[in-house]
Amino acid sequence: MRYTSVRLLSDIRVFAAPCCRCTFTTSTAQPVEAVQSTSGKSILEIPGPDGIYNLPYFGFRLHFKPFSNYDMTLMNEKFEAWKNQYGPIVRVKLGKAWAVYLFDPDDIEKVFRSDNKYPERPTLPLITIYDKRQKNAPSLASSLGEDWYAMRAPTQRTMLRPKAVTKYAPKISKIADDFVDSLKNSDRLENLPFKLMEYSAEGVGMLCFNTRLGCITSDNTITPLMSYTQQYLFYAGNSVYKVIPTYMMYKNSYYKKFEEAADFLHNEADSHINKAMADLKHASDNGIELESNLLFDLLSTPGLTPELVRRTMTDVFIGGIDSTANTMTFMLFNLAKNPEKQERLFQELKEHVPMKGEIQEDTINKMPYLKACLRESFRLVFPISGGTVRILDKDIMLKGYNIPKKTPIQLCSGIIGRDEQYFPQQDQFIPERWLRGNNRTDVNPFAHLPFGFGPRKCIGQRFAEQEIYICASKLLRSYRVVLPPGMTDVPFYYCVFATPKEPVSFLLEKRQQ
């Protein structure tokens, strides 16, 4: 079985990752009447597919195989075709309502800045129905409105503060050293992204539970935690392509496999949270001051029950494993394919990164080329098929068209990132375009948003980036990553994150101490 990724858990973007759902997932959006506005043209006047494509529900499915040459797992290709045929704003029938697709950064900015305090976007039905059947408290994945904000706000105060995450840098450095040590008897880095998932699981386990999980192995051993994490991601990710989601009507075999994995992961989170609560009580009873960490902070937050903390930590944990590993896989490929870029990065790493030992909190800020390489890799392989979705609570005027409230609006940042108008030499890996200085290309800040923007941006962004920076630094400080003979690309698909279609391997050349 080949396991895939899922654009997971409402607030986690690369961890997702960045932050959206596929356009055909369910939402709270209602059908809207296309009433002519006195201040703009009707939504019906927006260019877009017509005829049988405007049939309720089934019309959207006709855009893809077997009815056309477009694959639903590469929906971004269809989005790009719509942009080329109809222009920067496109109207498409989605379910029994209209959806609007945007390909202009200025329009994307306008939508983001029209968000209210509780931004709305679609959720994954499989996770939502699991929560209902298990009678779970709502999570970041399945909640909206005030319920979402009640969980998001205290978690955000901890996770999006720079100092709150950078204090983990020394601990993540040790995990990265262990990961590099696991490769010492091999001249290949094989079975990616799974091998990198071991590292990312260990790192996010430290963030969520303040403990090592024992995921990194030097052989092909798969721990139960990694096995169930893969199972969860596979079934959650592929659920979005179910034409008839029978799992919503009854517990079919597909749902039961997901439920099995979800139950295991929730029980795993429970065990760590119960231990943390016992440690807090013992410390309180005995006047002991404990080192602050994310789990302790959340458990001590008024209004957050242990059940809500469990749901939040489980969301953050799962969302932080697979998307980070996929992102690192594509970044390593781009550096191996462009050895001159890899060499420039190595010179930067050699100045700041030790072969062994801690990477301090301020070290990463001294390595702009490392950051530029990640941003450029995100641009070439955007983590989600198009971009995030917003469902506004008020009408909005875009390109002279009045878009009624509750209309799903797809903000297609991933398509803009491959547009020559905004990124010259769009097919080339050019990290320099992100560097300050004379050679930098002016980039509209809303043309490239892999982690989203605003109140509902990826809550795990800072930690995900830190994990990637530290692992890439340690690996590329010790090894030169080389493409195997005949390898020219990494074919991928979306489920919902960009995921390699087959396991990826690179050659490793040991660098001198």
The answer to whether residue 17 is domain-embedded is no
Radius of gyration (C-alpha) of the chain in whole angstroms: 23
Could you tell me the pLDDT band of residue 4, with boundaries at 50, 70 and 90?
Answer: very low
pLDDT of residue 266: 87
Least confident of 143-152, 164-173, 186-195: 143-152
Residue 346 CA to residue 477 CA, distance in Å, equals 6
pLDDT of residue 16: 34
**CA 479 vs CA 37, 203, 267, 494, 510: distances in Å:** 61, 21, 38, 30, 5
Query: Can you give the three-state secondary structure of 130-156, one letter per residue?
Result: HHHHHCCCCCCCCCCHHHHHHHHHHHH
The answer to whether residue 2 is domain-embedded is no
Domain count, the chain: 1
Beta bridge partners of 506: 189
Share of the chain above pLDDT 70, in %: 90
Could you tell me the pLDDT band of residue 327, with boundaries at 50, 70 and 90?
Answer: very high
pLDDT of residue 36: 41
pLDDT of residue 351: 95
Could you tell me the pLDDT band of residue 440, with boundaries at 50, 70 and 90?
Answer: low
The answer to whether residue 25 is domain-embedded is no
pLDDT of residue 8: 35
Q: What are the b/e assignments for 162-186, b being 16+ CB within 10 Å?
A: eebbbebbebbbbbbbbbbebbeee
323 has a pLDDT exceeding 60: yes
297 has a pLDDT exceeding 90: no
Assigned token pair, 25: 């997932």
- The residue with greater pLDDT, 118 or 433, is 433
Question: Residues 224-227: contacts with CB within 8 Å, 24+ apart?
Answer: 224/264, 225/201, 225/268, 226/194, 226/197, 226/198, 226/201
The answer to whether residue 35 is domain-embedded is no
On whether the CB atoms of residues 155 and 298 are closer than 8 A, the answer is yes
- The residue with greater pLDDT, 375 or 36, is 375
Rounded mean pLDDT, 108-114: 96
Burial class, 409, CB count within 10 angstroms (exposed 0-12 / middle 13-18 / buried 19+): buried
pLDDT of residue 238: 87
**CA 500 vs CA 206, 322, 422: distances in Å:** 26, 12, 26
287 φψ region: left (φ > 0), alpha (ψ -120 to 50), beta (else): left
Could you tell me the pLDDT band of residue 3, with boundaries at 50, 70 and 90?
Answer: very low
- Tell me the per-residue pLDDT of 182-219, one tens digit each, with 9 for 90 and over: 998 889 999 999 999 999 999 988 888 888 888 888 77
On whether the CB atoms of residues 473 and 367 are closer than 8 A, the answer is yes
Burial class, 74, CB count within 10 angstroms (exposed 0-12 / middle 13-18 / buried 19+): middle
pLDDT of residue 177: 95
Mean pLDDT of the chain, nearest integer: 86
pTM of the model: 0.88
- Tell me the per-residue pLDDT of 472-507, one tens digit each, with 9 for 90 and over: 999 999 999 999 999 999 999 987 789 999 999 999
Q: What is the DSSP letter of 40?
A: B
Assigned token pair, 1: 């079985």
Element (H, E) at 90: strand 89-94
pLDDT of residue 315: 81
pLDDT of residue 174: 94
The answer to whether residue 350 is domain-embedded is yes
Residue positions counted in the chain = 513
The answer to whether residue 31 is domain-embedded is no
Rounded mean pLDDT, 148-171: 78
pLDDT of residue 439: 56
**CA 361 vs CA 169, 358, 470: distances in Å:** 6, 9, 11
Residue 380 CA to residue 327 CA, distance in Å, equals 11
pLDDT of residue 441: 60
Rounded mean pLDDT, 394-419: 96
Beta bridge partners of 189: 506
User: In CATH, what number is assigned to the domain containing residue 170?
Assistant: 1.10.630.10
Could you tell me the pLDDT band of residue 361, with boundaries at 50, 70 and 90?
Answer: confident
335 has a pLDDT exceeding 50: yes
pLDDT of residue 6: 34
Q: Residue 285 is part of which domain span? A: 43-510
- The residue with greater pLDDT, 447 or 157, is 447
Phi, then psi, of 99 in degrees rounded to 5 = -125, 150
Beta strands in 334-388 (DSSP E): none
The answer to whether residue 492 is domain-embedded is yes
- Tell me the per-residue pLDDT of 391-401, one tens digit each, with 9 for 90 and over: 999 999 999 99
- How does DSSP assign 382-439, residue by residue? -SBSS--EEE-SS-EEETTEEE-TT-EEEE-HHHHTT-TTTSSSTTS--GGGGSSSTT
Rounded mean pLDDT, 413-422: 95
pLDDT of residue 23: 36
Of the candidates 336, 295, 130, which has an alpha carbon nearest to the alpha carbon of residue 210? 295
The answer to whether residue 15 is domain-embedded is no
- Tell me the per-residue pLDDT of 221-263, one tens digit each, with 9 for 90 and over: 788 988 998 899 889 888 888 878 899 999 999 999 999 999 9
C-alpha atoms less than 13 angstroms from C-alpha of 368 in its C-beta half-sphere:
7
